[in-house]
Amino acid sequence: MIIDCHGHYTTAPKVLEAWRNQQIAGIKDPAAAPKVADLKISDDELRESIESNQLRLMRERGCDLTIFSPRASFMAHHIGDLAISSTWASICNELCFRVSKLFPDNFIGAAMLPQSPGVDPKTCIPELEKCVRDYGFVAINLNPDPSGGFWKSPPLTDRHWHPIYEKMVELDIPAMIHVSTSCNACFHTTGAHYINADTTAVMQLIEGDLFKDFPTLRIIIPHGGGAAPYHWGRYRGLAQALKKPLLREHLLKNVFFDTCVYHQPGIDLLTKVIPVDNILFASEMVGAVRGIDPESGHHYDDTKRYIEGTLNLSAEDRHKIYEGNARRVYPRLDAALKARGR
């Protein structure tokens, strides 16, 4: 089977965005703030939003299961305070849960956390636990920059983040390191901020010793690992200068990269530089990069084509990228699939 580890609910019914706009307006004018009960989305509306978009494309492209989380740019942790973020995260996670219940063979959840700038990450634990224990989610998305492009949080290796890591280890779930909208005009959200964050996360993990404290922790760096695979020699050299172990020992026991690169030479490079055991199939379908590539005539986010087109991959390697690695990195997903006889 083919498991896509990077899917977002980018096609949620428009009433969700309208409710969010009201919530934001209510920050300045509490009288304008909506109630959670004001948001009404039927199962039929959810089905339509999925069947005509993600599910249709999954079937056309031969993808079986998507690990599905709230829309990344909608997380917007920089907006409001902890109460605002908590309400918004709860709503978005519940919608992903409902999608997973409507389409249990095709979607399984990953949680958005109710992060807020300057707030202790341990405040995220109740939502995290609810999503894993009650909703059956198999992972979380962790935003290393809740300030929205100004990087006011400590590095990912700082003890600031330990409450999240401790709970991840307890529940045996991985985290995808994924920022949200940039409110810094210097950084385009998907073209700069996302890729900068991926690259920054890799360098922070190289500089620190996080995996000495959490040897079983598993981290996914999306968008092909940002610039890291392209500059792998630089990072190997920096690790050496910092007197760290070789990256295969220091980083690649715990860190994984997805395939959201969107062109054949990029996937070719990724699979040559990064060990196949550290690559997870992903598309971020109907996400940041849409449309037809005029050079290939195919959708940019049809990433299965790139895996099939990579000449240095054996059938065994493709199986690892498509399915085997995901089952290993997401143990709760593997358990859920085995329970269903898959």
HEC per residue, the chain? CCEEEEEEECCCCHHHHHHHHHHHHHHHCHHHCCCHHHCCCCHHHHHHHHHCCHHHHHHHHCCCEEEEEECHHHHCCCCCCHHHHHHHHHHHHHHHHHHHHHCCCCEEECEECCCCCCCCHHHHHHHHHHHHHHCCCCCEEECCCCCCCCCCCCCCCCHHHHHHHHHHHHHCCCEEECCCCCCCCCCCHHHHHHHHHHHHHHHHHHHCCHHHHCCCCCEEECHHHCCCCCCHHHHHHHHHHCCCCCHHHHCCCCEEEECCCCCHHHHHHHHHHCCHHHEECCCCCCCCCCCECCCCCCECCCCHHHHHHCCCCCHHHHHHHHHHHHHHHCHHHHHHHHHCCC
Query: Active site includes 284?
Result: yes
What confidence score (pLDDT) does residue 311 get? 85
Residue 249 has pLDDT above 90, yes or no: no
Strand-pairing partners, residue 146, are none
Predicted TM-score (pTM) of the model is 0.96
Check if the beta carbon of residue 264 is closer than 8 Å to that of residue 295. no
What confidence score (pLDDT) does residue 105 get? 97
Q: What is the mean pLDDT of residues 269-296?
A: 94
Measured CA to CA in angstroms, residue 332 lies from 42, 335, 336 at distances of: 28, 5, 6
- Distance CA(225)–CA(169), nearest Å, equals 22
Candidate ranges 47-56, 245-254, 291-300; pick with highest mean pLDDT: 47-56
Of the residues 94, 127, 284, 323, which is catalytic? 284
Check if the beta carbon of residue 289 is closer than 8 Å to that of residue 300. yes
Q: What is the β-pairing status of strands 65-70 and 111-112?
A: unpaired
What does the longest C-alpha to C-alpha distance in the chain come to? 61
Give the mean pLDDT of the chain: 96
Query: pLDDT grade, residue 58 (50/70/90)?
Result: very high
* CA 109 distance to own-chain centroid: 11
Check if the beta carbon of residue 71 is closer than 8 Å to that of residue 9. yes
Query: pLDDT grade, residue 250 (50/70/90)?
Result: confident
% residues pLDDT > 90 (the chain) = 95
Residue 222 has pLDDT above 90, yes or no: yes
Query: pLDDT grade, residue 86 (50/70/90)?
Result: very high
Q: What is the mean pLDDT of residues 152-178?
A: 98
Q: What is the mean pLDDT of residues 323-328?
A: 98
